Amino acid sequence: MSALGDLQGRFQDFLLRGAAGVEADVLGTERVPAATRLGIYAGAYRSRLAEALETNYPALARLLGPADFGALAADYIAAHDSTGFSIRTYGDALAAFLAAREEYAAAPVLAELASWEWAMAGVFDAADAAPLAVADLAQLPPADWARLRFACHPAVTRLTLAWNAPQLWQALTRDEASRPEPAYAVVPVEWLLWRQGLASYFRSLGAAEAAALDALRSGAPFGEICALLGETLGDEAAASEAARLLRGWIEAGLIVRLS
């Protein structure tokens, strides 16, 4: 390793883990010793990471308040280095962190709210893709339908939540004077998140639609999706329901390609 690389490595170890060994390479003065200069830089680095977490999780930050969110940010920063080239990606493991740490896992709505916020941000940041049109299906021979497979828009995201995180997120991001209390659903709710243009959307799904959409996203052909729906709706109703769902997904811009 070069001398510069060695210096950079020791400086990084100091920033991330407080390791000694770089003080001798930092010029200090009587007024501002080297240790003080290093401390200022380390504090600014952690403050920037905490700011990134608050930017990426504004609803969670508002729900917890400055003091508790600051404590959470400090805990997370101590456990997770920033490894991406963009600070936008910092905090990707926050939901798992909240679910695993005892002091936060006692309030599981926090982890689900973090999952929701990260998913919504990912929906907005996802790559653009031209959506399929209903007319694109009009010329397909009936014999081809059973073998059709579909590709979803990169923004299409699915979540299964046991808490009312989406409702809490809405109230917190709108800065509403009143917001719902955290509520647990005995039967978890299936959610779909997606984007059309620059607008992000979400809605809950029934069990049958959630299963059909998950099958479509995993690459199942249309015939298998019909068979899946037939398990709960019966064969007679399954084909028409699959067609209805497919049309709705296409009109919402969820599907970008067929094969």
Convert the pLDDT of each residue in 179-229 to its tens digit.
899 999 999 999 999 999 999 999 999 999 999 999 999 999 999 999 999
Convert the pLDDT of each residue in 57-112 to its tens digit.
999 999 999 999 999 999 999 888 888 888 889 999 999 999 999 999 999 999 99
- Set out the domains of the chain in order of their start, with CATH numbers: 1-106 (no CATH), 124-259 (3.90.930.50)
Residue 254: both structure tokens together? 């969820």
Residue 104: both structure tokens together? 């936060």
- What whole-number percentage of the chain has pLDDT above 90? 64
Select the more confidently predicted residue: 206 or 137: 206
Residue 166: Cβ-neighbour burial (10 angstroms; 0-12, 13-18, 19+):
buried
Quick check: 163 and 169 in contact, CB under 8 A?
Answer: no
What's the CA gap between 42 and 54, in Å, rounded?
A: 19
- In this structure, which amino acid lies at residue 142? P
